[in-house]
Amino acid sequence: MKAILKPFLPFFLTVLFFNCAAAQTPVTPEKINFVRQGVRRFIFDETQQLPLAALYPREIIGLSAMYPVRHALPTPAQVSVLSQQLSIQSTSETQTSIWFGGFNPFATYMIDLARCQGQGEVGFEFTDASQSEQFVVKFVFKDEQLLDVRQKTVKNAQVVAETSIATKNSKNTQIKGKIILQMLGSGLTLFLQNDGLPLPIGQFDFGQILDLRHKKYLHSFQSRLYVGLQRGEVLINKVESVLSSGMGLADIRAITYEDGSPLLDKGRLWYTMTIRGRALPHHVQGVFSLDPTTFDLRLEGVIVFDRNDGLLRNEVASHLFYDRKEKSWRGLTTGFSAYAKPEEKKQLLAIESQRDPRFGFSVMKATPFGLVGDIEDPHVVFDSTARKWRMLTCENQNGYKAIMLESEAWNKGYRRIAGPVQHNSTGTSIQKIGNERYCFSGSQERQVFIYSYPTLQKIGTLKMDLPPWDATSGTRVWPNVVELPEGYPFRYVALMMDRFNFPGLEGPNWTYGALYLYHGHENE
């Protein structure tokens, strides 16, 4: 028997060698095929909101205590609950404010309007208890016809601004359906939704008049339904304030541990995403979770940032990680809030929190660390082999280009070690595929580029079935590639966005986009 096998032994060893070599061939990202699984765009989706306060007429027993009414003129309007609707009516001139909740300058406020008859105004009033400071946003109507959209700002008991904020969409529009006020710290957009998409009918940047990002407004302002009548009736189904996913999501980044491995908690991947609101600086940092085997994306929270200057800032394009050694939530963010104050400069900020900031409304400490200028999309990992913190980001050098920086500390002292790359870059990120780290970047070139870590040598491009763009749209997406542990029906997942802007907004419009889910499979 040994004599028979002996001539074939070299052949068997050769086959065994090649089989083992094939089994051990490392997977590289350019060999992975990403196949689109689903797409969603959340447009003030009621399933994607976190409640802050509400006025539901069907729940009211004791209106005077639950929702105190204040009349600004000698003649009061008649306020009552009729058939599970709130009625405000009058035959002469009245001004009525009905409390319904606290105030958050990054919340979305909604009025579900059943009917408005006669002539008057309806909207929101945000004010302190003494009314010495006040911010009012309101519709002016006559027999359900929209006449104007206006704001009034009061400081030190004096009116400092009262102007029309109507857009061209407001012309020849009827007031019916849902009124949606998206507050964004230093600006707002007002929508009217009946059938179809919400219609933007009012826009205003108020940061230079009354910067509602100051902490004192979060602590002292309250929210009221405002109704001013010459005559007639306003009938309300409900009033709500929520943390909302808005009308577009972008800048998708997986939340990780300090080494860059994805935070897979309770069977869900966790992401930071920018909740979009017209243009910079009118965006907000959202936190979402996802079961990677399904498409059950869920808004979990909103994060704002405190630089110890009295403001709560809506920075975005953040990378959040949990440092297991220090037992602290840390990360980097991009200081886009500088666009609200002309004297400030855009820069990267180090962020930190002992409390888990993924849930509800959270505030993280933010500290400048010297990277000032047109630089954004940072992603940082601790490389235990090099014993260094390494940051992949992109800097505007005749277009945004990826660069690699290195430091002894996570929050200071970074110096460049590679880059800039040749290609336009956006959504720069570092991710392990197998045992090796790689760098990923979107671009203007209808490609997602793959680079070596940490040297940023071009390796190739990502293979995608049905990428999140077409011939009419921008292509600077965030790749957001994540490798899953063993046991999943696929090893790789990528959640990306498109760059289609929400229609009808005036001026700069960066409100993209819809979300695209991809599963990745190795070549078979």
Does 428 score more than 80 pLDDT?
A: yes
Task: Classify the phi-psi angles of 232: left when phi > 0, otherwise alpha if psi is within -120 to 50, otherwise beta.
Answer: left
In this predicted model, what pLDDT tens digit does every residue of 171-199 receive, in sequence order?
A: 989 998 999 999 999 999 999 999 899 99
Whether residue 250 has pLDDT greater than 70: yes
CB 508 within 8 A of CB 487: no
- When pLDDT is averaged across residues 404-430 and rounded to a whole number, the result is 98
Exposed (0-12), middle (13-18) or buried (19+): which is 432, by Cβ within 10 Å?
A: middle
Q: Round to whole Å and give the CA distance between 80 and 234.
A: 11
Q: For the chain, how far is it from start to end, CA to CA, in angstroms? A: 38
**Cα 432–435–437 angle (5° rounding)?**
35
Mean pLDDT over residues 331-349, rounded? 95
What is the arithmetic mean of pLDDT over 327-336?
98
Per-residue pLDDT at 195: 87
Q: What is the pLDDT of residues 456-473, one digit of tens each?
A: 999 999 999 999 999 999
State residue 24's pLDDT score. Answer: 56
pLDDT higher than 50, residue 376:
yes
Average pLDDT over residues 80-101: 97
Q: Are strands 256-257 and 264-265 parallel, antiparallel or unpaired?
A: unpaired
- CA 518/CA 516 separation, integer angstroms: 7
Assign 421 to helix, strand or coil. Answer: coil
Q: Which two tokens stand for residue 42?
A: 């959340």
Q: In this predicted structure, what is the pLDDT of residue 165?
A: 98
Specify the DSSP class assigned to residue 297.
Answer: -
Question: Could you tell me the pLDDT band of residue 523, with boundaries at 50, 70 and 90?
Answer: confident
Closest CA to 378 of 354, 351, 342: 351
DSSP β-bridge partners for residue 352: 330, 365
Gap between the Cα atoms of 444 and 322, Å rounded: 32
pLDDT-above-90 percentage for the chain: 93
CB atoms within 10 A of CB 203: 20
Tokens of 233: 């009736």
Given CA atoms 140, 171, 107, 282 in this order, what sign does their dihedral have? negative
Q: What is the pLDDT of residue 26?
A: 81
CA atoms within 13 A on the CB side of 67: 27
Task: Reply yes or no on whether the pLDDT at 4 is more than 60.
Answer: no
What is the 3-state composition of the chain as percent helix, strand, coil, each rounded to the nearest 5? 10, 55, 35
H helices of 427-516, in order, are: none
The encoded tokens of residue 453 equal 């870590």
Q: Is the pLDDT of residue 449 over 60?
A: yes
Please tell me the distance from the alpha carbon of residue 252 to that of residue 287, in angstroms, as a whole number. 10
Q: How many residues does the chain have?
A: 524
SS in 3 state form for 310-339? CEEECCEEEEEEEECCCCEEEEEEECHHHH
**Residue written as token pair 């921008």:** 474
Q: Is 396 left (phi over 0), alpha (psi -120 to 50) or beta?
A: beta
Query: Which three-class secondary structure state does DSSP give residue 191?
Result: strand
How much is the average pLDDT of 206-221? Answer: 96
Q: What is the 3-state secondary structure (H, E, C) of 353-365?
A: ECCCCCCEEEEEE
So what's the pLDDT on residue 149?
A: 98
pLDDT at residue 18 above 50? Answer: no
Checking if the pLDDT of 366 tops 80, the result is yes
Q: Looking at residue 524, what is its pLDDT?
A: 64
**Pairing mode, if any, of strands 256-257 and 316-323?**
parallel
What's the mean pLDDT in 40-66?
97
Could you tell me the two tokens for 139? 């519709």
pLDDT average, residue stretch 425-445: 97
Of 521, 522, 520, 518, give the one whose Cα is nearest residue 252: 518
CA gap 180, 187 in Å, rounded: 14
Q: What is the mean pLDDT of the chain?
A: 94
101 burial via Cβ count (<10 Å: 0-12, 13-18, 19+): buried
pTM of the model: 0.94
State how far the alpha carbon of 346 is from the alpha carbons of 39, 277, 365, 372, 391, in Å. Answer: 32, 19, 17, 6, 18
Who contacts 61 (Cβ-Cβ below 8 Å, separation ≥6)? none
pLDDT of 23 higher than 80: no
Q: What is the mean pLDDT of residues 253-266?
A: 97
Mean pLDDT computed over 223-244 = 98
